Chains A and B, each alone.
Chain A
């Protein structure tokens, strides 16, 4: 079955760069049948869409994060990644990777990233 798994540091210092990777199993990113998304959830809050990538490398970013955000894909490793620069405490959240463009049918378990010195 399709599984997604986030990985990366759980603690990032303010103004540094947050980097996460999502490893996909049970499905091939390079098949081109799905888009691959990042979504985050601030502690005790609702869900915020971050952006997506397609196997070709085409991306969409949430305008509120666009200036700090980069999403990339490595089809050879069946992974896609997120980089968020100049982080602040407001970026503290659980970060999820998910499959889909208009709806998200498979999600990673989520990883908590705390921004603190």
Chain B
């Protein structure tokens, strides 16, 4: 079974910082990796699909990259409204989510 490991589990940054966090798959998953943002008390929101495609309506400061086993989500200039937990997700026989990275300011 594929496993998704996100790191770090949490990070603290300042407004305007470039923030990067990673998702590592236990097996090659090509580019079948999505990223979500979840704010406290809210449902997750799709940010990036197929590793690098920006979902409609998502600010361009978000970007995704990677393929195979190593993936990255980058926020080019952190904004106060970006405080959230970010999850990666892969679809195989069973859709699977990573453990999340909590971003704080």
* Interface residues in chain A, defined as those with a beta carbon under 8 Å from any beta carbon in chain B: 37, 46-49, 62-63, 96, 98, 101-105, 107-110
A-B contact pairs, 26 of them (CB 8 A): A37-B95, A46-B87, A47-B44, A47-B87, A47-B89, A47-B97, A49-B94, A49-B96, A49-B97, A62-B94, A63-B94, A96-B43, A96-B44, A98-B43, A101-B91, A102-B91, A103-B34, A103-B46, A103-B49, A104-B36, A105-B55, A107-B43, A107-B44, A107-B45, A108-B43, A110-B43
CB distance from B50 to the nearest CB of A (A): 8
**Inter-chain contacts of B95 with A (CB < 8 A):** 37, 49, 102
Question: DSSP majority for the A interface?
Answer: loop
Q: Which applies to chain B's interface (DSSP): helix, strand, loop or mixed?
A: loop
Count of B interface residues, CB-CB < 8 Å:
20
Q: How far is the CA of A44 from the CA of B41 in the complex (A)?
A: 10
Q: Once the chains are docked, how many angstroms separate the CA of A49 from the CA of B95? A: 6
CB distance from A83 to the nearest CB of B (A): 20
Known contacts A105-B46, A108-B43, A110-B43, A46 near B32 by CB under 8 Å? no
Whether A103 pairs with B43 at a CB distance below 8 angstroms is no
Residues on B with C-beta less than 8 A from A96 are: 43-44
B77-105 interface bits toward A, Cβ cutoff 8 Å, 1 = contact, 0 = none: 00000000001010100111111100000
Shortest Cβ distance from A102 into B: residue: B91
- Neighbouring A residues of B89 by C-beta, 8 Å: 47, 103-104
Closest to B50 in A: A103
Other contacts beyond A103-B49, A104-B44, A108-B43: 5, CB < 8 A: A46-B98, A47-B87, A47-B97, A63-B94, A103-B89
* Bound-complex Cα distance A86 to B94 (A): 23
B40 to chain A, nearest CB (A): 11
A46 and B97 in contact, given A96-B43, A109-B43 (Cβ under 8 angstroms): yes
What residue in chain B is nearest A100 (Cβ atoms)? B46
Residue in A48, A96, A101, A103 whose Cβ sees the most chain B Cβ within 10 Å:
A103
Residue of A nearest to B95 (CB): A49
CB distance from A35 to the nearest CB of B (A): 11
Tell me the smallest distance from the CB of B75 to a CB of chain A, in Å: 20
